[in-house]
Amino acid sequence: MNQALENAAPELVELRIPARPEWVALARLAAATVANRLRFSIEEIEDVKLAVAEACTAVIQHEGHGEFIALDCEARSDALRIRVRDSGRHQAAHSSDRHMNFEEARIAGLGIFLIRTLMDEVSYDVHPQHGTDLLMVKRLASA
């Protein structure tokens, strides 16, 4: 990793896109650009891009998703943290269980399962009044 990034405070890239499928490619590109800056491998960057696409698609497909998706990509010295949020209100409250279960699979399809497979850490909250907040972390391999 480059020395300047190791010693710097985390860098944050914020993107706000319309909650429509044609804008997901821009979110993927933004996340890939930040991941490339951190020197992830091509395979790891592809994992990040797919996870971001799945997260954005899940938000778009969810009823009441809102007008926009906010994507925050935080470049840290040891990891990439990506937060995907929507502006919508959701009809049903979520389960407090954060692990993959049958209900989660039924609601989110395979998206959240795939995201958990691709990323090192995944946590999320679906609030009936504030929408979805999904945090994904991809750690850099130790050198």
Going by C-beta distance under 8 Å and a sequence separation of 6 or more, which residues neighbour residue 3?
none
- Let me know how many helices (H) and strands (E) the chain has, helices first: 5, 5
Per-residue model confidence (pLDDT) at position 2: 52
In this structure, is residue 2 part of a structural domain?
Answer: no
Predicted structure pTM score: 0.79
In this structure, is residue 5 part of a structural domain?
Answer: no
Structural domain of 66: 11-139
- Residue 141, pLDDT above cutoff 50: yes
In this structure, is residue 62 part of a structural domain?
Answer: yes
Surface-to-core class of residue 54, CB atoms within 10 Å of its CB (0-12 exposed, 13-18 middle, 19+ buried): buried
Q: Are strands 11-18 and 121-127 parallel, antiparallel or unpaired?
A: unpaired
Average pLDDT, the chain: 82
* Domain count of the fold of the chain: 1
In this structure, is residue 6 part of a structural domain?
Answer: no
The CATH number of residue 106's host domain is 3.30.565.10
In this structure, is residue 21 part of a structural domain?
Answer: yes
pLDDT digits (tens, 9 = 90+) for 37-78: 999 999 999 999 999 999 998 888 765 557 899 999 999 999
- Residue 110, pLDDT above cutoff 90: no
